[in-house]
Structure 1
């Protein structure tokens, strides 16, 4: 969806002065599956960026080699591979003094979790303890799963999309069983200005907002409704969410509505009118305009075309704003 994936050559929105860069997946066509896997080298230099930035997508990194520090939300983790790292949308991270960085990078948006929506909760919890050092057994099964994901992605054989979703589901669930970090993190100085991370109260408000809109109740896909449920003003909600995620509540609500519409179009036989009603847009004509604006295709074209085109592989990460 717009703000989550971007077509090659599409102009990116300018980064607000003082804000952190926001990275998005670059896809070759509007409804290509929002998933990519590769090494740090094949994904591209943005996968090991040395400057603080955010994502609009999830990133799972299996680190097998290298030295340096991975900084996530002002917490520095020394590299003593192997590691498994989960970075959730909105988290701030960068690689500091990293050399010889080796491993695999898995990138995907919430749209890719269409068969396993519960994985969003698993991933959110993993994002709270993002740096895991793997023992020999965990390193072995992680390596096997990542290798299978990579092989399915490269081959693109019949039914590979469902296989990728299943393998990713297994990886996420098994990662959730792993014990927390076994080493103490290192504090990192906070950046100044509006990009600074939120205080604990604001962070909890942003987390509750994210939880509310992750469901399928369209009555909660409104900034006012969420603010009332949480017990804060809409202005405070906007500030907290923007500080925690780099995006506005309205942007995230549009993404949640679009994600549910995609799920219903792809996985049910509901009519477009029924889908529109299910996502809280009673006017089918308005829903069609909304869906096209957010995805680049009409609901009918999305349903007929599915998620996959022959050129399914994503080759890069796009960054909003000018290069550093």
Structure 2
């Protein structure tokens, strides 16, 4: 089994890898640079032990929280939208790395599953052992560990968001749009603000306003760190005409004023 770590070389030929895994550990909110959807020639996975990761595949968002596994089939387009204090594991494998790949034969879309309580603790430790075995080039345990992991998956249990919630997340994260208000997103969905709020809160664990603020702060950070745009214009660019409110929100979320953040990032 070729167990070369792929992330040290941008030119890595993923088709030559049977299995790889790396530990994921991000501090705070991290939004990757905008890149096209990726397509890997192997099954990709993300497993979260704490924090959260938002992944999008073919217009469907998947919010991965503690105990969640996301399995992405080969050549299925996907992109990571953000990491928030995310700890866990990510990697990929070829069916040839398994003694029996039959359960994967008909997987054509991402599979999202949550493992709770004792089962979650077991799966977390299994991923830890897979990472250690990968580092030691222990091909025997990797094969057995992957087989054990697949035996825990409920293939009929796909946890994607309801269409209305998915459409809301798509809209709020769209790069070509200024973040709107709860009322504007509800109007776009053709439902009341309260109903949209209930749907989003139930599906994601976060309020509509929280998702809007996540996007606002992320974009504001990029503008403050990478441009000389005046703070008042940064506020307007993220959908807030009141500069004082923007400054209070930014400090609440980051612990710094917009000006202090810019000074820290630009030196």
Structure 2 length as normaliser, TM-score?
Answer: 0.48
Could you say which structure has the greater relative contact order, defined with CA pairs below 8 angstroms and 6 or more residues apart? 1
The alignment's TM-score, normalised by the length of structure 1, stands at: 0.41
Rg larger in 1 or in 2?
A: 2
